[in-house]
Amino acid sequence: MKSVGSTIGVGRSVEEAMLKALRSSQFSPKDILPSMREISNDELISQLIHPQINRFLVLIEAIRRGYQVEDLTELTKIDQFYFYKLKQLLITEEKNH
């Protein structure tokens, strides 16, 4: 068995908690959402179906690429609520840059 670790984020909103959890991981030491632009669409879909340690970043990348929430929910079995929250994070990031 392979341990991938976990993080926790506590905040006044789901978005704030997600960012805190992301910052506490090794992926994002700054207030930016890391990009996974370098992976192909096939690899992205594979990682959506078969989660790896970087799953959070893969979910964000799928939203950046315009995948529909309904499709992501079907592939990942993650409730749509969280994808809408991730979309809101990306909208906020775009406004700040």
- The per-residue pLDDT for range 49-94, each reduced to its tens digit, is 998 888 888 999 999 999 999 999 999 999 999 999 999 988 887 8
Q: 52 by DSSP, 3-state: which? A: coil
Q: What is the pLDDT of residues 42-59, one digit of tens each?
A: 999 999 999 888 888 899
pTM value is: 0.76
pLDDT beyond 80 at 7: no
Written as six digits, the tokens of 39 are: 């992976």
Task: Note the pLDDT of residue 25.
Answer: 64
Chain centroid offset of residue 94 CA: 15
Task: Note the pLDDT of residue 56.
Answer: 86
